[in-house]
Structure 1
Amino acid sequence: MTAAIPVPRPATKHSVGDDILGILCGTVVVSLGLFLLRAGGDVSGGTAGLALLLSYATPVPFGVFFFAINVPFFLLAIRSKGWGFVLRSVLAIALVSAASAFHGSAGALGALALDPFYAAVAGSTLAGVGVLIFFRHGASMGGFNILGLVLQERFHLRAGYVMMTLDTIVVLSAFAVASWPVVVASGLGAVIMNLIIAFNHRPGRYVASS
């Protein structure tokens, strides 16, 4: 008697409503995490952190660097992930930017001053969970998120580990503009966030698609 050959289960398709709700939930969680990181004075990783460091060193505004750095990543995403992924990612970035500004307004949380290590742990945990939600619904926060997803799909490298390596390089570069306790706290945050992604976003762990 031969054992039955297992048949791969087809991916469950997300509805438009699923994706809208997922992106809105991801927006709230990521934006709150980024707000906490900023409240602790921590240096962020990713292309946003890289753009910020370059803006410190030159007279070029942050927004110009952030756009220019993300362009090649979005071109890669168009080829590898399709226009749907790119448009959802652009929407996610815009919503997170707006929500982050709202958290800091007088009518919401306002100005907070947090211990950098507390902010790194709490903020990075929230940001990691939020990015994971975006991934589940065919979106990202651009930049290193895109590269990590593409390398995982093509070469089976964990997206979280790829992003952790790149984020660590960016955070270590912050020694030029920040004190060592802030850089250490920021590095801890980068590790926490990307471990959450590496452990939870991998082939076979989640089969729904957008």
Structure 2
Amino acid sequence: MSQSVKHKWYEDVVALLVGALLIGMGVIVFSEAKVLTGGVSGASLVLSYATPFTFGQYFFVLNAPFYILAVMRMGWQFTLKTVVAVTLVSIFPTFAKDWISLEFVHPAFSAIFGGALLGMGMIALFRHRAGIGGVSILSQFLQDKKIMNAGIFQLVTDLFILLAGAFVVPLENLFYSVLGAIVLNLIIAINHRPGRYFGS
């Protein structure tokens, strides 16, 4: 059996940068086509479509309350890495507008490609014991306290975000958003499984 090998600090740095870059690019592809996703990312997209403030501003602020739960559940190391990742994801889409211009992105392509980018970016963070904060931490906390099942809480939250999105995006885009969520979760399910990777 292969033995677990701890990541070096510089490997963690590279993973945080690459993971945040992929997630940030996924957000850009989603936002250009007005497609949604779940969790804090989805809530931030909905709010950015409806107000003058940016995705990054909402994403950074909405994640802040979850850091306390992250410390309680995952410890300081995970939380600090997550804060760095969230900050990078918050900043990248804003600055990327000076580096890349997308004139048109079809919602179907956005859902598939953006979902894949988000999924691969999240895997890069997960494998280096980091995350992008948000609802997943709260859902685990509620389950630990026997208040609500984590999966049900996340499902209800994501459904609420999609319902809110119905007021700011075309109805057709909600269906593409579901496609994007399926792609994202398939990428994670296929590539982030115990026994297939031994870094820690």
Give, as a single letter, the amino acid of the residue that structure 2 aligns with 1:42.
V
| Residues 120 and 189 in structure 1, CA contact (< 8 A), matched pair in contact too | yes
Q: Name which of structure 1's ranges 23-32 and 127-136 shifts more when overlaid on structure 2.
A: 23-32
3-state SS of 1:113 partner? coil
SS of 1:44 mapped into structure 2 = coil
Where does structure 1 lack aligned partners over 5 or more consecutive residues? 1-7, 154-158
Amino acid at match of 1:19: D
1:129 to 113, 117, 120: 120
Q: Find the counterpart in structure 1 of residue 199 from structure 2.
A: 208
Match of 2:96 in 1: 103
CA contact (8 A) 1:163 1:194 kept: no
Letter in 2 for 1:24: L
Whether contact under 8 Å (1:164, 1:194) holds in the other structure is no
Which residue of structure 2 lines up, in the alignment, with residue 195 of structure 1?
186
TM-aligned CA deviation for residue 190 of structure 1: 1.4
Tell me the CA shift for residue 29 of structure 1: 1.4
CA contact (8 A) 1:161 1:195 kept: no
Deviates more, 1:22-31 or 1:55-64: 55-64
Match runs of 1:87-98 below 5 Å: 87-98=80-91
Decide whether the 8 Å contact of 1:129 with 1:196 is kept in 2: yes
TM-score normalised by the chain length of structure 1: 0.75
Q: 1:204 Cα deviation (Å)?
A: 3.6
- Distance in 2 between the 1:52 and 1:127 partners? 14
Structure 1 residue identity aligned to 2:77? G
**Distance verdict in 2 for CA 1:149–1:112, change over 3 Å:** farther
Does the aligned pair in 2 maintain the 1:160–1:198 contact within 8 Å? Answer: no
CA positional deviation for 1:71: 3.9
The structure-2 alpha-carbon separation of the partners of 1:52 and 1:110, relative to structure 1 and needing over 3 Å to count, comes to closer
TM-score (norm 2): 0.79
Distance 2:139 2:54 in 1: 27
- In angstroms, what is the RMSD of aligned CA positions? 3.6
Displacement of 1:163:
5.6
1:39–1:111 Cα contact (<8 Å) kept: yes
Which of the two has higher C-alpha Rg? Answer: 1
CA gap of 1:191–1:48, structure 2 versus 1, over 3 A, is same
**Identity among equivalent pairs (%):** 37
- 1:23 maps onto 2:16 in alignment: yes
Query: How many Å separate the matches in 2 of 1:95 and 1:61?
Result: 14
Letter in 2 for 1:117: A
